Amino acid sequence: MSYFVDENGYYGQFGGAYIPEMLYPNVEELRQNYLKIMQEDSFKKEFDELLKEYVGRPTPLYFAKRLSDKYNTKIYLKREDLCHTGAHKVNNTIGQILMAKRLGKHRIIAETGAGQHGVATATVCALMGIECIVYMGEIDIARQEPNVARMKMLGATVVPALSGSRTLKDATNEAIRDWINNPVDTHYIIGSVVGPHPYPDMVARFQSVISEEMKWQLKEKEGKENPDYVIACVGGGSNAAGAFYHYLDEKEVGLIAVEAAGLGVDSGESAATSVLGNEGVIHGSKTLLMQTKDGQITEPYSISAGLDYPGVGPLHAHLCESKRADFISVTDDEAMNAGLELCELEGIIPAIESSHALAVFKKKAFKKDDIVVLNLSGRGDKDLDTYIKYFKF
Amino acid sequence: MNRINQKLQEDKKLLSIYFTAGYPNLNDTVTVIENLEKSGVDMIEIGLPFSDPLADGPTIQASSTASLDNGMTSEVLFNQLKDIRKTVSIPLIIMGYFNPMMQYGVEAFCKKCAEIGIDGLIIPDLPVQDYNENYKAIFEKYGLINVFLITPQTSEERIRFIDSISNGFIYMVSSASVTGAQNSFGSTQSDYFNRIAAMNLKAPQIVGFGISNAETFQQATVSAKGAIIGSAFVKHLTEHGVDKIDKFISLIK
């Protein structure tokens, strides 16, 4: 079984491009060109240089000694939190802005939930001097003020999504509608491994630098490229796709995907798509998603704005159905405590998304000589308010 | 013969009206359909609401949200329509997004449509290729016409392909936009209308998106067989309910 996308844009039964005809020319143009462009020497050179000089790659693979002692196993943290803009998101936006330039597009649109992808998109647009419009749910705008200010400082226009539940899924709908209205000059930078083919594959390839680095870094430190486990959190799933990518076909590497259970999987306030979702179509992709019996998409909940998406990317749906990856759900409380523990043990304040991945150590026992790599997808600066409110500092 | 094909043979320009089922009130669906037929409309698209309607502008989005809040579901709609053929004889099409149909079961959905007397479906986010490979046989088994969309950006080759697999009409999206976004047509649209007319397609075309009054209806149907009004009619329902439907229609035709 292959875990990579097939020629029709599917991962097993998931994926495809369920888009209105109005989007067909745009998506088809991208589909026909993305691999060709990514393989050009000039593209690779520019992409690699920007990742090195601008983003600050390679990010360290840090051996977390005190955390390892506590859980009696060998834990490495892949420090994506040290990327410019504070999370892995920028790996993808750098790739896509270079793609957009080569496709001759001079207007960029993006969706954002917590604002991390919006900031990463506004950043690369400033870098390239390209117009940037970010759609963000009205409710998210109110609760993520610092990121809204960041995007504005970076020259982006932030447009409130006023439809539906006024959060991430509606921001995505608005971005897609913008693309329908502006089919010629605009490129849509999707922030995760979601959306119609070829987006899930393209975004996974841009993020795959994470596991590419893990391999040689682990070889240096442990004398072998493969860990026993890779752990990553999954909302749409872009950091997990990047961390898993070069290990997908390495069967001896266990993949652990961590979803947000919110107040509890059965509480009605959750984002644990692998448990609560079933096959359906969202944002142009056939995947697992949370919906009513009648096929209306439901609003997920998590304390982490980066994980409350009602679906997962089609790659992850396939990893879940085929049991290639273990899906574990972590509640708000478990995540918040695991985040605080990392602060205390290692002096690193993680994004609440990444805190979900950290909570796995309380839920699953690893062997003493297991090598476990955890993708620390982002830093916690953006979440200080939430941490403060939660712990009443 | 399917009612849609019969209607397409009539020697006139066709006016088709879209409305969101279960709007403004849950049980308005049948009244709206009956009043539209009495007002002289040629064909009706019954919108099955979806939580995330990607191709729709604010008017139809809002009506969809309201309809869902009213309690509309596929099952409720089928129940409302179960006796519709006792009173209504013009072609009826259900327009909706793929996910609710997928959850109902595509075959079960089609079977139900056939039992009620629905003549066709418009599913904007079901890809042409996917339909052709996986669902065409089911639609044909139940005598349903599937209507495909083309836009000003659709390539000539793709239009020819879509024409070759269309067994009713082609839904010709007037401009690069979501529903309800335009107020009038300019030279870009007339060039596009002329270009499509010159292709001499096998399937008649009915123009949608941006038709709101007699003027845009007339412009859209210079060479096309008919036109569809959606957002403007939904706005009328928002403002006037089900009462003055005949007045709205009389201003178009």
Assess contact for A265 and A301: CB atoms under 8 A: no
Answer whether residue A1 shows pLDDT above 90.
no
Answer whether residue B150 shows pLDDT above 90.
yes
Domains defined for chain A, CATH in brackets: 18-51+89-198 (3.40.50.1100), 57-86+208-391 (3.40.50.1100)
What Å distances lie between residue A195 and A105, A119, A189, A341, B144, CA to CA? 19, 20, 11, 35, 29
Q: What digits encode the pLDDT tens for the residues A174-216?
A: 999 999 999 899 999 999 999 999 999 999 999 999 999 999 9
- Confirm or reject contact between A41 and chain B (CB < 8 A): no
pLDDT on residue B162: 97
pTM here is: 0.97
Task: Name the closest residue on chain A to residue B53, using Cα atoms.
Answer: A173
Assess contact for B29 and B80: CB atoms under 8 A: yes
- Confirm or reject contact between B10 and chain A (CB < 8 A): no
pLDDT on residue A114: 84
Q: What digits encode the pLDDT tens for the residues A339-384?
A: 999 999 999 999 999 999 999 999 999 999 999 999 999 999 999 9
pLDDT on residue A256: 98
Catalytic-residue membership of A42: no
Answer whether residue B183 shows pLDDT above 80.
no
Please state the rounded mean pLDDT for residues A310-336.
Answer: 98
Torsion sign across C-alpha atoms B155, B160, B165, B167: positive
For A333, half-sphere exposure in the C-beta direction (CA atoms, 13 angstrom radius) is 3
> For residue B95, is it left (φ>0), alpha (ψ between -120 and 50) or beta?
beta
- Confirm or reject contact between A7 and chain B (CB < 8 A): no
- Confirm or reject contact between B153 and chain A (CB < 8 A): yes
pLDDT on residue A10: 97
Answer yes or no: do B55 and A163 touch at CB < 8 A.
Answer: no
Rounded to whole angstroms, the Cα distance separating A156 from A133 reads 6
pLDDT on residue A204: 98
**Burial class of residue B165, CB neighbours in 10 A (0-12, 13-18, 19+):** middle
pLDDT on residue B167: 94
Rounded to whole angstroms, the Cα distance separating B205 from B176 reads 17
* Average pLDDT over chain B, rounded to an integer: 96
- Confirm or reject contact between A256 and chain B (CB < 8 A): no
Q: What digits encode the pLDDT tens for the residues B231-242?
A: 999 999 999 999
pLDDT on residue A351: 96
Residue whose tokens read 């870009």? B188
What SS3 class is residue A219?
helix
Residue ranges making up the domain that contains B89: 3-9+12-250
Answer whether residue A232 shows pLDDT above 80.
yes
Confidence of residue B185 (pLDDT cuts 50, 70, 90): confident
* Parallel, antiparallel or unpaired: strands A186-188 and A278-282: unpaired
* Average pLDDT over chain A, rounded to an integer: 96
- Confirm or reject contact between B165 and chain A (CB < 8 A): no
Active-site entry in B28, B42, B45, B119: B45
Q: What is the ipTM of this complex?
A: 0.94
Catalytic-residue membership of A323: no
In chain B, the percentage of residues whose pLDDT exceeds 90 is 92
Residue at A141: amino acid letter: I
Confidence of residue B178 (pLDDT cuts 50, 70, 90): confident
Please state the rounded mean pLDDT for residues B152-159.
Answer: 96
Q: What digits encode the pLDDT tens for the residues B107-141?
A: 999 999 999 999 999 999 999 999 999 999 999 99
Q: What digits encode the pLDDT tens for the residues B40-74?
A: 999 999 999 999 999 999 999 999 999 999 999 99
pLDDT on residue A136: 96
Answer yes or no: do A281 and B98 touch at CB < 8 A.
Answer: yes
Assess contact for A362 and A335: CB atoms under 8 A: no
Nearest CA distance, B75 vs chain A (angstrom): 8
Nearest CA distance, A200 vs chain B (angstrom): 18
Q: What digits encode the pLDDT tens for the residues B83-104?
A: 999 999 999 999 999 999 999 9
Catalytic-residue membership of B56: yes
- Confirm or reject contact between B223 and chain A (CB < 8 A): no
What SS3 class is residue B253?
coil
Please state the rounded mean pLDDT for residues A289-314.
Answer: 94
Of B100, B127, B155, the CB nearest to A296: B100
Assess contact for A334 and A359: CB atoms under 8 A: yes
What Å distances lie between residue A211 and A88, A188, A240, B185, B200, CA to CA? 12, 25, 10, 52, 54
DSSP B149-195: EE-TTS-HHHHHHHHHH-SS-EEEE-SSS-TT--SS--HHHHHHHHH
Torsion sign across C-alpha atoms A40, A42, A44, A47: negative
Answer yes or no: do A295 and B52 touch at CB < 8 A.
Answer: no
- Give the range among A113-127, B57-71, B175-189 with minimum mean pLDDT: B175-189
Task: Name the closest residue on chain A to residue B151, using Cα atoms.
Answer: A22
Rounded to whole angstroms, the Cα distance separating B227 from B217 reads 6
Answer whether residue B182 shows pLDDT above 80.
no
Q: What digits encode the pLDDT tens for the residues A64-114?
A: 999 999 999 999 999 999 999 999 999 999 999 999 999 999 999 999 988
Answer whether residue A166 shows pLDDT above 90.
no
Active-site entry in A192, A211, A329, A377: A377
Nearest CA distance, B55 vs chain A (angstrom): 6
- Give the range among A241-245, B143-147, B190-194 with minimum mean pLDDT: B190-194
Question: A21: which chain B residues are within 8 Å (Cβ-Cβ)?
Answer: 124, 128, 148-151, 154, 173
Of A17, A25, A181, the CB nearest to B178: A181
pLDDT on residue B238: 97
For position B76, which CATH number holds? 3.20.20.70
Please state the rounded mean pLDDT for residues A305-328.
Answer: 96
pLDDT on residue A37: 98
Please give the tally of structural domains in chain B.
1
Of A20, A184, A294, the CB nearest to B125: A20
pLDDT on residue A167: 86
- Confirm or reject contact between B128 and chain A (CB < 8 A): yes
